């Protein structure tokens, strides 16, 4: 069950290593003003550098979340890249000068490297979500097979984004398919320096619903939580149709978007 906003714990520097987060960028007004031709754009309020070592955040899965201020959100998208819908979401984010984090499935990245490269070129964070998103989840397959899923997915994402993969991922952020982790897999990711993201709230966009119904649902949840890491899927047409209105609603309600990047990665762009 989700924790109430007042009960949420945030990750402290001593928990995930010294200087977990460095604040960069400008306030939301300055970010919006930097959006060409769009002085009223939502913009990206600030960039948060996150140390992946020991990182386990998102109150749907873990006790702690990122150290966000009230009415700050981190936008995340799972399962892409996907034809049409990922491009439409990228268009909407670009129109509002907003940066998000995309947790890619390796086989989708391999099939659509042009969308991965576009995501990277437009300043978003490219993170990882396994190679095939197995229906059984990583928690229900043998440990060695789950590790292979993770490592092959990261390698495929990196080859699509950068042309080659290395001994360590450029963005050591991972989200478990279905949020289905195990203590053994969490320990493996910790040993390899890969941070794990859950979410604080989601749009339930795996359920078929009209874009307006989805918008109403996620805004209701967001207002109740007061902010947090939000999960969408860029494979869903209803989400792609809803995102422009969602971004405008964030601006109207006074929310600020925080872009997350690995510690030492600068502004991620």
Question: Which of 193, 182, 251 is CA-nearest to residue 54?
Answer: 193
Q: Which of 78, 157, 205, 234 is catalytic?
A: 78
Tokens of 137: 């989840």
Distance CA 161, CA 155 (A): 10
8 Å CB contact between 112 and 81: yes
Beta strand 46-50 pairing with 21-24:
antiparallel
Three-state DSSP class for residue 47: strand
3-state secondary structure of 25: coil
61 close to 133: Cβ distance less than 8 angstroms: no
The two tokens of residue 30 are 């300055």
Secondary structure class of 114 (helix, strand, coil)? helix
Residue 2 CA to its chain's centroid (Å) = 18
Q: Which of the following is catalytic: 124, 233, 234, 259?
A: 233
Distances (CA, A) of 266 to 48, 50, 59, 152: 9, 11, 27, 26
Query: How far is Cα 252 from Cα 28, in angstroms, rounded to an integer?
Result: 13
124 counts as catalytic: no
DSSP state of 138: G
Rounded Cα–Cα distance for residues 124 and 116 (Å) = 10
Structure tokens at 74: 């981190």
Catalytic residue list: 78, 233
């Amino acid at each position: 069950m989700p924790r109430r906003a007042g009960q949420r714990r945030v990750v402290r520097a001593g928990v995930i290593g010294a200087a977990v987060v460095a604040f960069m960028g400008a306030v939301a007004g300055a970010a919006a003003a930097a959006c060409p031709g769009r002085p009223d754009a939502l913009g990206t309020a600030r960039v948060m550098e996150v140390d992946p070592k020991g990182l386990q955040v998102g109150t749907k899965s873990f006790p702690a979340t990122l150290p966000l201020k009230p009415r700050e959100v981190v936008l995340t998208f799972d399962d892409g890249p996907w034809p049409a819908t990922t491009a439409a979401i990228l268009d909407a984010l670009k129109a509002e000068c907003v940066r998000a984090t995309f947790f890619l499935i390796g086989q989708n990245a391999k099939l659509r490297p042009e969308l991965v490269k576009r995501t990277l070129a437009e300043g978003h964070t490219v993170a990882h979500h396994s190679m095939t998103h197995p229906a059984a989840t990583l928690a229900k397959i043998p440990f060695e097979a789950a590790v292979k899923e993770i490592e092959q997915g990261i390698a495929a994402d990196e080859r699509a984004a950068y042309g080659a993969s290395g001994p360590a991922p450029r963005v050591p952020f991972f989200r478990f398919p279905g949020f289905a982790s195990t203590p053994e897999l969490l320990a493996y990711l910790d040993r390899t320096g890969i941070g794990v993201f859950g979410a604080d709230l989601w749009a339930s966009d795996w359920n078929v619903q009209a874009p307006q119904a989805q918008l109403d649902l996620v805004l209701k949840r967001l207002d109740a939580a007061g902010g947090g890491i939000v999960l969408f899927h860029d494979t869903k047409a209803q989400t792609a149709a809803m995102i422009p209105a969602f971004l405008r609603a964030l601006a109207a309600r006074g929310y600020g978007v925080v872009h997350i990047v690995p510690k030492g990665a600068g502004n991620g762009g």
